[in-house]
Structure 1
Amino acid sequence: MELRHLRYFAVLAEELHFGRAAERLHMAQPPLSQRIRDLERELGVRLFDRTRHRVQLTEAGALLLEHVRPVLSGVDTAREAMRRIRPGEAGVLRVGVPPDTHPVVLPTLTEGFARRVPDVLIDLHELTTDEQLARLREGELEAGVVRHPSDTVGLESGPLARRELGVVLPADHPRAGPEGRPVRLRDLSDSPLVIFPRAMAPRLYDHVLTICRDGGFLPGAIRHARNPNFVHGLVLAGRGIHLNEAPATPLPGGLVWRPLAGAPLAWLTSVVWVPSRHNEAIAAFAETVTEGLARAGHRIGEPSAG
């Protein structure tokens, strides 16, 4: 007994007319009649009473229909479940975002993506830049939101978004100064630096330290932290200063954020993907991320070079 034969039977049982059933099934009437006869022969019962003017279910046909309906419904449910886990345009888009993604970006991202491609579910994973790049190349992600500079050889990238960094200081730090007054990197020299672990994004880590050195800031010590609460706790405890974009929400009491003079440091962010896997869903994701970053204060520029 083949599943398609059961579907033919169910449609005919609903229509009780071979012509209309054949039209619904996108097939000719003679093959449909033959499939129904094959099913009756296999089951050893007559499923329909046929006359020149009408088609009616027999008692056996009515009983079979009660068993067939939940089977077909279950198959449709299973098909939909499989469709939903397929990557790309008709399923789930698996994407990575940085752990410190601005809070404004995520709701913009999910709502904007659903508006552009309502048939695709977005599966967000909180991952560092290097974790995203590895999973993209292994086929475990379809797209990622990464920080530059990074090793994006062999990947395509959307527009580069720039967000200038400032410095988080204890309010009583000698360089804190009035709100809005820029701080020069060289004036921070010898202060300990609280920064993300190098393993999260090695090229970006080295780039930040190079810019600091070129700007005259040689940290007295380097301490690693990735959780914002831990970072702020270290700064409050006087264990270092921290370089980051302007905070989205008020900092804990005792901390202040000041811009850096000349804007020497910035988060450079873009969406990346494997060129051969590009599709409508990835394009929609890239557009939505760009929209979210712009809303969070990033300046959108040219596609990144990796």
Structure 2
Amino acid sequence: MELRHLRYFVAVAEECHFGRAAERLHMAQPPLSQQIKQLEAELGVQLLERTSRRVELTPAGQRYLERARDVLARVEAANDEAALVAGGMVGRVSIGFTGSATYELLPAISRALQARLPGVEADLRGELLTPRQVSGMLAHELDLGVLRPPVGDPAIEVHPLRRERLVVVLPETHRLAGHGAVDLAALADDPFVTYPSHQRSVVHDAVLAACQDAGFTPHGTEVAETSTLVSFVAAGLGVALVPESVQHLRITGATYRPLVAASADVDLAVAHRAGDASPVLARVLDVVRAVVADRGRKPGVPAPGSSL
């Protein structure tokens, strides 16, 4: 039995007429009649009662019509779903976000995915440092990473998104909190709250380089999460340098200021396993790029001098 037999039978059963059914199927009537006879012979059941004027369903034919319609509907749904999957419109993707991107880009990307790819299930994981994202992609726990390059593993393909300046986070009570911009050298004696060292955080290395260029080496507390870092600053435990997108994280007691003549910056990129040709991955990559580009056109970051 083939699906065409089911389609032929449904057409005849619905039209109750071989001639009209043949026209509907764009075929001649004799071959259609022969196909229905073959179907009945294969089943060993009479499905249709034929008279000179019309065709009627037997009780067995009535039940068979219900099942045939259900089978054809399921096949059509499977075909549609396969086309959606092949086009990247249906599937699942897991995305990791570095700390600063967690508070700015994760919500925007989540909204964009829901609007543009409603058939894609997105597992979004925030506050993941670059090494953790790389290991997650290699272990197939993550499909995409929004992270801080460089990434040294050739098994990971990296696409730059944008470059961000570093800004300083100060307690509201800090002596420089009222300044429009802060000279980094003026913070040489302050304790710093930083991201983890020992090549676990790209931002930590950028902060260290910026401070050394200003004539000092920062000392203080290391924390892994951006929210914890800014909370420690708000509590008066030190100062910090962070990518400017962290200003989207609003914590009472912390204030952000630009650096005087700052040249320190960090890159943001999206990464995935090299050679991954998943259609849904390509669609999601397009959405991520579009969201970042749109954020670049719209001033969504609070003013550097704002108190949060």
In which range does the TM-score fall when normalised by the shorter chain? 0.7 to 0.9
Structure-1-length-normalised TM-score: 0.72
Q: Give the structure 2 partner of residue 301 of structure 1.
A: none
Unaligned runs of 5+ in 1: 299-306
User: What residue in structure 2 maps to residue 303 of structure 1?
Assistant: none
Is contact 1:104–1:296 with CA below 8 Å preserved after alignment? no
Query: Structure 1 pair 214/71, CA: closer, same or farther in 2 (3 Å)?
Result: same
- Structure 1 distance, partners of 2:141, 2:13, is 45
Task: Give secondary structure in 1 for the equivalent of 2:204.
Answer: helix
Q: Give the paired residue count.
A: 290
Is this contact kept in 2: 1:175–1:188, CA < 8 A? no
Name the counterpart of 2:289. Answer: 287
C-alpha contact (below 8 Å) 2:165/2:264 kept by paired residues: yes
User: Do structure 1's residue 213 and structure 2's residue 196 form an aligned pair?
Assistant: no
Give the match for residue 195 of structure 2: 196
Whole-angstrom CA distance in 2 between matches of 1:158 and 1:248 = 23
The letter of the residue matching 2:223 is H
Name the structure 2 match of 1:44: 44
1:58 aligns with 2:68: no
* Map 1:2-21 → 2, pairs under 5 A: 6=6, 9-16=9-16, 17-20=20-23
The separation in 2 between residues aligned to 1:148 and 1:166, in whole angstroms, is 19
SS in structure 1 at match of 2:148: strand
The answer to whether the 8 A contact 2:234-2:251 is kept is no
Shift of 1:233: 3.1
**TM-score, structure 2 length as denominator?**
0.72
1:161·1:270 contact (CA, 8 Å) conserved in 2? yes
CA distance in 1, matches of 2:160, 2:184: 28
Matches within 5 A, 1:93-172: 94-98=93-97, 99-101=99-101, 103=103, 105-106=105-106, 108-113=108-113, 118=117, 120-121=119-120, 123-127=122-126, 128=128, 129-151=130-152, 153-172=154-173
User: Secondary structure, in 3 states, of the residue corresponding to 2:247?
Assistant: coil
Percentage identity across paired residues of the two chains: 33
SS in 2 for 1:165: strand
Gaps of 5+ in 2: 301-308
**CA distance in 2 between partners of 1:291 and 1:79 (Å):** 35
* Mean Cα deviation higher: 135-144 or 169-178: 135-144
Report the 3-state secondary structure (helix = DSSP H, G, I; strand = E; otherwise coil) of the residue aligned with 2:236: coil
Mapped contact 2:93–2:121 kept (Cα < 8 A): yes
| C-alpha separation in 1, matches of 2:50 and 2:214 | 91
Deviations 1:25-83 (A, max 9, x none): xx998886665444423432211245677544333211222344455556666777777
Structure 2 counterpart of 1:266, one-letter code: D
Structure 2 vs 1, CA of residues 139 and 188 (structure 1 numbering), >3 Å: closer, same or farther? same
- In structure 2, the residue corresponding to 1:277 is in which secondary structure? coil
Q: Structure 1 residues 28 and 240, CA, compared in 2 at 3 Å: closer, same or farther? A: farther
* 1:113–1:288 Cα contact (<8 Å) kept: no
The Cα offsets for residues 75-133 of structure 1, whole Å up to 9 and x where unpaired, read as 6667777777x586242251414144265534543454566x54752514215233333
The residue number in structure 1 matching 2:235 is 237
Q: Does 1:265 align with 2:264?
A: yes
CA contact (8 A) 1:158 1:270 kept: yes
Q: How far did 1:259 drift?
A: 1.0
Tell me how far 1:226 sits from its aligned partner.
0.7
Q: CA deviation at 1:224?
A: 1.0
Measure how far apart 1:208 and its partner are: 3.1
Is the contact made by 1:162 and 1:266 (CA closer than 8 Å) also made in structure 2? yes
Deviation, 1:290, is: 2.5
Q: CA deviation at 1:291?
A: 2.4
SS at match of 1:101: helix
